Structure 1
């Protein structure tokens, strides 16, 4: 019979595993030695680290949202080495008028979105299918709990910008439309799940095939 002490320790380990996110850093910082691409966590000698390792200018300008109405510029330790091991990353999202950031979720991070410019209809859906959404204006902030589907749309007449911050170095990103219709899920399942006919499904497949990583359909 398992002792009470053993059972208690198992419960504590389980609680820690569930509640933990990125591991805590054991040093002040760990700027990667960029010449060692196969070992991204190998740190520079601290005497070689400068203030420039902790400054990033790659999101001063908007992304190219003219073709699709939306552009996201992610910032992780891959492009900003000073973030390495600090358990955070962020993204700049730019919208044309009417532009949409499709429903998506981040499996490993909570996101905080700060509206830099414009008016954004923004929200998330909880596990009871309740929608928490409203129009955010410049200077307002909204939080999207980890793992919950969320979305944004520019409802203003001019371009809009959001800065999103994540509490993970690698939050992950799953775009719902591309994950479903741009993947290799069997057509039969999708037809039954959504009530589409074959022609409607084929149209969705063609639209999302590039985002989902499938090969283009021959013309």
Structure 2
């Protein structure tokens, strides 16, 4: 009898725990906490689990002729706590996503239109590159420098997914030339000459 009571208690506890862990849709109106404060389940509808933004082309009228439309936890609260997120990549003719990293996630890219040359560099400086066509996909391991470049004469599009709702992003060129890092320091650590550094700072918005 005592064993039956204990088993019943454990079963109820497991069922309760399982239900509580189904999802944790973020309440973006609340003060952020790690993980984000969950919304009340009673107030949720099917729309809270749907994101429509990836169906629209991004604005590629910029210096890199590219756009990334994120569906991270900040845009798609349902991804909170689930270890996933997504995005859309639009590359106009000549468009490029420069070398960058996602410190918080690995990435998989699936080409849906056009052609994209993509690649990454390992921590031992081995380079992996591939020109991808529609339907092809490529993996970029967490934290490694990688890039995407339009390899077609028309706009190319890809859907990307990440192993975290907050993958993070740091673009190498902007980290070096888009801020107030002193020209002399950049010259010392990159072996670039001061004239080149100042030219890049002027293009990317950094101070001299």
TM-score, scaled relative to structure 1: 0.79
TM-aligned CA distance change 1:139 to 1:48, over 3 Å? same
What is the CA-CA distance between 1:198 and the residue it aligns to?
2.5
CA contact (8 A) 2:103 2:168 kept: yes
The alignment partner of 1:192 has SS state of helix
- Name the counterpart of 2:61: 66
Deviations along 1:30-71, whole A, 9 cap, x unmatched?
123344245673323322221111001112111011333111
What is the CA-CA distance between 1:128 and the residue it aligns to?
1.8
What is the CA-CA distance between 1:88 and the residue it aligns to?
1.5
Gapped runs of 5+ residues in structure 2? 1-18
TM-aligned CA distance change 1:150 to 1:64, over 3 Å? same
Q: 2:159 aligns with which of 149, 163, 178?
A: 163
The alignment partner of 1:71 has SS state of strand
- Name the counterpart of 2:21: 27
- Name the counterpart of 2:129: 133
Q: Does 1:111 align with 2:107?
A: yes
- Name the counterpart of 1:152: 148
Larger radius of gyration: 2
TM-aligned CA distance change 1:100 to 1:38, over 3 Å? closer
User: What count of residue pairs does the alignment treat as equivalent?
Assistant: 188
- Name the counterpart of 1:184: 180
* Aligned alpha-carbon RMSD (Å): 2.0
The alignment partner of 1:43 has SS state of coil
Deviations along 1:167-206, whole A, 9 cap, x unmatched?
0111110100111122333322222233333222211111
Gapped runs of 5+ residues in structure 1? 1-24
